[in-house]
A and B are shown apart, each in its own frame.
Chain A
Amino acid sequence: MWLKPFIVIILFYFFAILQNSFFTHFVFSGGVLNLIFILFFLFVFFEKQKSYYWAFFYAVVAGLFLDIFSYASLGISIVLLMAMAFLIKKTQSSLKEEKDNFSLLHFALLFLVSFILYSLLLQTCIFIIIVPHVFTKFSLGFIIEIIYNLFFAVLAFLICKKYVKERVDTKQISLFRNK
Chain B
Amino acid sequence: MNVSSASSINKKKKNYLKFFSVAIVLCIFIFVLNIFSSQIKNYFYLLSSPVQKTFFTAGESLSGILNPFLNIYNLAGENEKLKKENQNLLSQISLLQATGEGIRASFDFSANCQDKNFTTVMASVIGLDGQDVISINKGSSEGISEGMPVVSQQGVVFGKILAVYKNFSKVMLISNKNSVIDVKIQQKTADPLMPEINGVVRGNGNFSIFLDLVQVDQEIKEGDILITSSLEKVFPKDLLVGKITKIEKNDQKPFQQAKIEQFFEVKSADNLFVITNYKQEN
Interface residues of A (CB under 8 A from B): 13, 16-18, 20-27, 29-32, 34, 56, 64, 68-75, 78-79, 82, 123, 126-127, 130, 133, 136-137, 139, 141-142, 145
Contact A71 B170 (CB under 8 A): yes
For residues 4 through 30 of chain B, which have their beta carbon under 8 Å from a beta carbon of chain A?
22, 26, 29-30
In-complex Cβ contact of B59 among A25, A127, A133, A142 (8 A): A25
Within the complex, the shortest CB–CB distance from A163 to chain B, in Å, comes to: 25
Least distance between A13 CB and chain B CB atoms (Å): 8
Cβ contact within 8 Å between B205 and A30: yes
The interface residues of chain B lying within 8 Å CB-to-CB of A31 are 206
B63 A26 Cβ-Cβ under 8 A: yes
> Which residues of B have CB within 8 Å of A70?
129-131, 133
Which has the most chain A C-beta neighbours within 10 Å: B40, B127, B206, B208? B206
Q: How far is the CA of A56 from the CA of B21 in the complex (A)?
A: 14
Q: A23-B59, A25-B63, A30-B208 are in contact. Are A71 and B133 (CB under 8 A)?
A: yes
Whether, in the assembled complex, B91 has its beta carbon less than 8 Å from a beta carbon of chain A, the answer is no
Chain A's nearest CB lies how many Å from the CB of B140? 15
Per the 8 Å Cβ criterion, residues 99-128 of B in contact with A are 125-128
Closest chain A residue, CB of each to CB of B202: A136
Count of residues in B whose CB is under 8 Å from the partner chain: 44
Q: 20 A-B Cβ contacts within 8 A?
A: A20-B126, A22-B59, A24-B56, A24-B128, A25-B60, A27-B128, A27-B207, A56-B22, A64-B33, A68-B41, A71-B131, A73-B34, A73-B37, A74-B30, A74-B40, A123-B131, A130-B178, A139-B204, A141-B208, A142-B205
Is residue B90 contacting chain A, with contact meaning CB distance below 8 A?
no
Q: How far is the CA of A26 from the CA of B204 in the complex (A)?
A: 20
Question: In the bound complex, do residue A75 and residue B52 qualify as a contact, i.e. CB atoms below 8 Å apart?
Answer: no
Using A20-B129, A69-B129 as known contacts, list a sample of 20 further A-B pairs with CB atoms less than 8 Å apart, ordered by residue number in A.
A13-B48, A20-B135, A21-B51, A21-B55, A21-B56, A22-B59, A24-B128, A26-B63, A30-B206, A32-B128, A68-B40, A71-B133, A71-B162, A73-B34, A79-B26, A127-B178, A136-B177, A136-B205, A139-B204, A142-B206
